[in-house]
Structure formats: C-alpha cells, structure tokens
Amino acid sequence: MKKIGMLGGMSWESTSTYYKLLNEEIKNRLGGLHSAKIILSSVDFEEIEKLQHLGLWDETAKILSNEAKAVENANADFLIICTNTMHKVASNIEQNISIPILHIADTTGNELVKDGIKKVALLGTKFTMLEDFYKNRIEDNFDIEVVVPNEKEQDIIHEVIYKELCLGKVNKQSKNEYLKIIERLEKEDEVQGVILGCTEIDMLVQQDSVSIPIYDTTNLHVLSAVDFALIN
C-alpha cells in the first residue's frame, strides 16, 4: 500500500471527512483491521482564508508548497490537496515537490465522462466558480461544458461556505437556497449534473435531495487516491 500525503485544514471539517472516507474505503477493499497509510499536514485556515480574500495567491502557494515538501519528506508517495479552491495553486506546489499530485478536477472529469455528461454546473467558492483553473481543466481535458451560477447565486453559495460550512454549521434555510439554485440551473441552463466543487458542500447537499446526478468531489478524490494507493 502506498502512503497517501494529505494537505488539509482548508477547512478541517472537510479534511476530517477525507480522513474518515479514506480509511473506510481501505477497510472495505482489504477487510480485517486494514486502514490507510496517511501523512497529513493540516494548515491554519484562518491564515489561508485571509490571503485568499486579499488575492495574495503567491503567498498561499508558498505556505502550501512548504507543507507539501514536509509531507514528501515524511515519505508520502503522492499528494492530495484536500480542497477544491486551493487547486488554483496546484501547479506552483507541483514545481516544488517530486511526488505526484492527484488533481481533484481530473478525478471529477473522469467520472463525468464515464456517465456521459456533456454539460455540468459547478458550485464552489467564488474563486472556483469565477476563475479558470477548475472550469478550463474540465472543459479542455474532458470536452464538457461547465456552467456556473449567476452573480447573486454565487454570493449566496460563497457566503454559506465560509460563514457556515467551514465552521461546521448546517443550516436548513441555506440548504433550501442551494437546492433552488440547482433546480434553476437544471431547468434554465439544462445542465445534466452538478459538481459540488467545494469539499464542504456535501455537508449540505446529498443526492436524494435533487433530481440530477451530483458529483461529490471529496468522495471522488478519495476513491481515486485509494485506487492509486493500491496499485502495485
């Protein structure tokens, strides 16, 4: 079994989900008392969040690159960045380490292709929805059209992520807002599925709440990491 490197803490709520799912999936596949071999570096999200909203992405890249090096030096065989948004600096991190990074958008794109999805909605932080680092990777590498919510909807989604979900708060009213947005995207933009492009959103929205397929990036990332860890 390869040793999985995790770059987490953004937020710790979603990182704890990663840790739990990784170990459960290893146990499911191998049985007995098996658990995942993991090296985890968990950052202080307060520091990262301030830099994000100031647009100081080079500073975030430096912090995460240093943490990624520490994970590599602890003998991890590969790295997963346990957040969608900070894949914005994945290429910067990649330049500073020699172990591979499993990109969360690639694991999602592969699943979309497998399901024959050609047009998909992307929910996430405003950074993920507005900028090209995630959308373009899906569109260019997998030939899938990516649609994002309108400006008002983006504000709602972003605020709920940072002011509620990252703090472990699950609000019924916020869930209803998200479901309204998904319903509109399905009816007006004719999307065939929805990417939960923030690792906290699965705390709020599950498949049984909507009529079109949901692509939970956390779960897909975990499955890809376990696949890679168990390749001989």
Catalytic annotation, pick one of 198, 199, 217, 218 = 198
- The predicted pLDDT at position 199 comes to 86
38/132 same-domain check: no
User: Terminus-to-terminus CA distance in the chain, angstroms?
Assistant: 8
Q: How many domains does the chain have?
A: 2
Residue 16 pLDDT grade (very low, low, confident, very high; cuts 50, 70, 90): very high
158/194 same-domain check: yes
| pLDDT tens by residue, 95-138 | 999 999 999 999 999 999 999 999 999 999 999 999 999 999 99
| pLDDT tens by residue, 164-189 | 999 999 999 999 999 999 999 999 99
Encoding tokens for residue 62? 């430096």
175/128 same-domain check: yes
Is 166 known to be catalytic?
A: no
97/189 same-domain check: no
The closest alpha carbon to 229, from 113, 44, 76, belongs to 76
26/111 same-domain check: no
- CA–CA separation, 103 and 44 (whole Å): 22
| pLDDT tens by residue, 45-92 | 999 999 999 999 999 999 999 999 999 999 999 999 999 999 999 999
Is 198 known to be catalytic?
A: yes
**Paired residues of 214 in beta bridges:** 194
143/200 same-domain check: yes
CATH of the domain at 37: 3.40.50.1860
204: containing domain: 105-216
Catalytic annotation, pick one of 17, 60, 83, 107 = 83
Helix (H, G, I), strand (E, B) or coil at 126: helix
Residue 153 pLDDT grade (very low, low, confident, very high; cuts 50, 70, 90): very high
95/172 same-domain check: no
90/9 same-domain check: yes
Residue 21 pLDDT grade (very low, low, confident, very high; cuts 50, 70, 90): very high
